[in-house]
């Protein structure tokens, strides 16, 4: 059962084609990884899907409905939520209030929203910090908050933009667990990720974007053996597949991994 259908979506900034006729579909319950070098157009694609940008051409269907021209809040209401690469907590609100804002999408009752928010904070492991202002959270905690907030909108499709960038391996392992649990509860996941280990461990399927174009799609193991993908990541000189070991495909992720949350976001 297809939950998201993207058909020939394109967007250019000035003369630059940021997203070039991208088409793919996403099945309900799937975890799809979206990878590609920096500037490949991944975040632009996210912005197009969630209504923050309007595509010049192409169609986007979500659960059967055409959402191509809908504003972000309407798309969120339909059950498709995204997180931001640079986390964007409401700094002067408490951690709990941050999540309550999101929970209020599905209820008008403050008390109900609050209860739901508390549950989610427990789920992401922030319950002890719920009354502190979000501004005081560390980066990993802010990422948890970002996830908790997104989940509070009760999404059918969760879109994560580099939630694991900048985390230590232990922390990203915890995140992996959380995402798997969310997925097991029936939520479809689309994730942009630079941490290859995470993409490989989580994704059922991987799409590779380069210069705004889809250059490969398939199982994680197949994608990392793809010559085009290796070229895109490492340049043609490295395109001898011998260095890439199956099962532990380290190299493609490494060169870009340090572009974590501290790097300014490209728009």
Partner 1 sequence: MRAFTGERAARRGPMLVGGALLLLLAAPLYLGSYWTSTLILVFFYAYTGQCWNILGGYAGQVSLGHAAFLGIGAYTSTALFMFAGLTPWLGMLAGGVLAALLGLCIGFVSFRFHIRGAYFILITLAFAEIFHLLALHLESLGGAQGLFVPFTGASWAKMQFKGNTNYYYVALALLVVITLVARALERSKLGLYLVAIREDEDASRALGVNTMRCKLAATAISAFFTALAGAFYSNYFFYIHPDEVLDVELSVDILLRPIVGGAGTLFGPIVGSFILTPLAELSRAYFSKEGLIGTHLIIYGLLLIAVVLFFPRGVAPYLARLVAGKRTS
By the rule CB under 8 A, 89 interacts with partner 1: yes
Considering only the stretches 26-34, 37-45, 93-101, 203-211, report the one whose residues sit in contact with partner 1 under the rule CB under 8 A.
93-101
Q: What angle do CA 73, 79, 20 make, to 5 degrees?
A: 75
| Helix, strand or coil, per DSSP, at residue 152 | helix
Nearer to partner 1, 132 or 257 (CB): 132
Binds partner 1 by CB under 8 A, chosen from 9, 100, 158, 191: 100
Residue 196 Cβ, how far from partner 1 at the closest point, in Å? 26
Strand-pair partners of 10: 57
Strands annotated E in 188-255: 188-192, 205-210, 213-218
Query: Pick from 34, 43, 41, 1: which is nearest to 19 by CA?
Result: 41
Residues 150-179: x where in contact with partner 1 by CB under 8 A, - otherwise, as a string: x-xx--------------------------
By the rule CB under 8 A, 235 interacts with partner 1: no
Query: Pick from 31, 36, 14, 30: which is nearest to 22 by CA?
Result: 36
Q: For residues 63 and 146, what is the distance between their CA atoms, to the nearest angstrom?
A: 24
Q: For residues 252 and 109, what is the distance between their CA atoms, to the nearest angstrom?
A: 47
By the rule CB under 8 A, 185 interacts with partner 1: no
Nearer to partner 1, 17 or 101 (CB): 101
Binding site residues, partner 1, CB under 8 A: 50, 52, 71-74, 76-77, 81-84, 88-94, 97, 100-102, 104-105, 108, 110, 131-133, 149-150, 152-153
């Amino acid at each position: 059962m297809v939950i998201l259908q993207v058909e020939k979506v394109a967007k250019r900034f000035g003369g630059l084609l940021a997203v070039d006729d991208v088409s793919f579909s996403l099945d309900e319950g799937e975890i799809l990884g979206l990878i590609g070098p920096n500037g490949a157009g991944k975040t632009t694609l996210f912005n197009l899907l969630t209504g923050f940008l309007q595509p010049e051409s192409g169609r986007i269907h979500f659960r059967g409905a055409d959402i191509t021209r809908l504003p972000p809040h309407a798309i969120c209401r339909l059950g498709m939520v995204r997180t931001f690469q640079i986390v964007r907590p409401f700094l002067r609100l408490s951690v709990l209030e941050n999540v309550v804002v999101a929970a209020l999408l599905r209820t008008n009752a403050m008390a109900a929203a609050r209860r739901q928010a508390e549950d989610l904070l427990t789920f992401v492991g922030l319950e002890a910090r719920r009354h502190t202002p979000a501004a005081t959270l560390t980066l990993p905690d802010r990422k948890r908050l970002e996830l908790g907030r997104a989940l509070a909108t009760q999404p059918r499709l969760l879109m994560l933009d580099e939630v694991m960038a900048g985390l230590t391996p232990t922390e990203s392992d915890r995140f992996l667990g959380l995402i798997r649990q969310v997925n097991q509860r029936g939520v479809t996941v689309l994730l942009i990720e630079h941490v290859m280990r995470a993409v490989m461990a989580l994704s059922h399927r991987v799409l590779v974007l380069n210069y705004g174009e889809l250059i490969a799609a398939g199982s994680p193991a197949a994608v990392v053996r793809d010559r085009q993908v290796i070229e895109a990541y490492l340049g043609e000189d490295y395109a001898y597949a011998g260095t890439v070991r199956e099962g532990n495909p380290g190299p493609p992720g490494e060169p870009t991994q340090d572009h974590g949350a501290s790097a300014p976001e490209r728009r």
